[in-house]
Chain A
């Protein structure tokens, strides 16, 4: 079990739907504001319902890694996802990795058609005003 800090959903019910986590992620990974190219998503069916934040929790073992047939994807000991063989990933025409994610947290970048990988950087947690997402060390 890793002792490296990981993001986790701590107080889901406190979400006010402000999107700071979503955009902090798109800025970090792609240097642009986007609700589409991001590893963090916010899912409201109706705004009258509770907000559902979706993040990669760095699960161990990770079903996305296991589902990757060309073995292009790996997870390091800290939960961070990495693309070992980008060319293999590029050739892949399925999205087994994203489909394997139990919480539908893994998203496919519509520009590149490749998975958007969470690096457990914690920027989403830092941006959250209500500790919906936290970034902590230790056992989950």
Chain B
């Protein structure tokens, strides 16, 4: 592990940096989520505002980053402006490898700059440069501008925010190397509040391995499993939008703000249609042979005479659900245009989609009208209206959009319509209208993300069968904990079937880290507990989690959900895992 026990501390206000060695933290948590949450617990003062300078940003790659396939995620930990509590978001791209090749095991950013700042990080340390020339630029423009064309013999990562981040829209994301995002929970707004426009990290060093033969052997094993078995086939071929038709078939495709589970135009926005008609190429993170990033090509005409502008749009299932079926947007091209608009301004496509869905329904129900929307007539599936709304949110162009920019819970509280404001634990749900485990999983996951425990998978395993509460609770606990082990190694969750217990032990051993399966399981469970320690410290209360009434009215793939049954499941899970009773 040697030099990778370094944490690079950056103070934006004082424009100083310091490298601190904390081998005991790396020994205990290995990296990724475990390390990032621990650093957040240490560095974030209790009660700090998400947009206050005291809120630190922690970025942590994992111990396998740059060494093995599909293990190059970076975990960001911060206080979230979306939930006012734990912010944890994961991104791929070149960030993890760049940080490690620059010699850093983690990065902690504190304070706020007095003007827009560009951080340039390499093995020699940090330079603080004015980002005024980049102000107002989209992340796509920043990436193109800062990518060094001259020297290719180094690994460079560029992460940045767009206008939504600059304007501190609560669910602004941070773009990583053009096609990756810290999409969830508002890291972009935190960057904006810190006046941090972009970071360029250059890794020109090396990572050594203790036993080269063992390393090569282990690498080959993992690589072969990824390319020669079907364990990652879905991500490689159709990509995650393959879910559209699969979920539609079982009635789990959220449609019209979760009113229904089937969309009549599912075929037209499916992964298959995207692949046949719009896909341009696939892009990969370093050392991953899978290439899950599906990039579509649009060619909007900007003038007469075959004048086309080539536009590349990274897309995935969650964006298609949030900006497609759930808004009744009925063509792949329109979904891609909306997705691109979100990318240009730098917004979380998922919560943006939930916000737009709420707004459309609120407009339909006369809760809001054209005086709020600035003249926009809002109808289901109206792409042009959604494009305009997205821009207005990013610019916070009037008091209504300013409220939308604060978040969906905040908006519904101010205007009404909470019964169809679709958030769980403050975060917008993923696109799985599958049943109890999906909703419960989102509530009891530390990030309130489907990736915490994949409750939707448990639901799919129980289709048309009697609800087995014990099984749901047991599997959610197991996934919550084991996934925290994987994300502490910063292994990509798409590779979770490759990185089973045995392979994880082997991979760690090959880089000089000896751990038993039991020890790893304990670490995962411990990280899950530590995440909730942060959440409870900052006021999280399971008894006060808002579950919108729509959840119990609309029909999921497993039928209509009963609120009493759901509350009972939540109560049991919380009592068993956290020893706490829910307050009424």
Contacts and interface: CB of A to CB of B under 8 A. Distances in A.
A32 interface: yes
Interface stretch (B35-43, B127-135, B141-149, B495-503): B141-149
Contacts of B155: 19, 35
Contacts, number: 94
B286 A47 contact: no
Contact of B289 (A18, A27, A33, A34): A18
27 contacts: A16-B282, A16-B283, A16-B284, A16-B291, A18-B284, A18-B286, A19-B97, A19-B286, A26-B206, A27-B215, A33-B66, A33-B67, A33-B101, A33-B206, A33-B207, A34-B205, A35-B153, A35-B155, A35-B204, A36-B154, A42-B152, A45-B144, A46-B147, A47-B147, A47-B178, A48-B144, A107-B153
Query: Which 6 A-B pairs give the minimum distances between C-beta atoms?
Result: A129-B289, A43-B152, A16-B291, A18-B284, A34-B206, A46-B144
Contact of B204 (A36, A45, A129): A36
Nearest to B226: A129
A120 interface: no
Interface of B: 66-67, 69, 97, 101, 140, 143-144, 147, 149, 152-155, 177-179, 203-209, 212, 215-216, 223, 227, 281-289, 291, 312
Contacts of A19: 97, 155, 286-287
A69 to B, nearest CB: 24
Contact of A17 (B206, B208, B223, B283): B283
A71 to B, nearest CB: 26
Given A31-B212, A32-B208, A36-B206, A48 B153 contact: no
A32 B287 contact: no
The bracket for how many chain A residues form the interface is 20 to 34
A31 to B, nearest CB: 5
A48 B143 contact: yes
Contact of B287 (A20, A31, A43, A47): A20
B286 A129 contact: no
A86 interface: no
A36 B207 contact: no
B312 A48 contact: yes
Nearest to A108: B153
A23 interface: yes
Interface in A7-59: 16-20, 23, 26-27, 30-38, 41-48, 54
Contacts of B285: 18
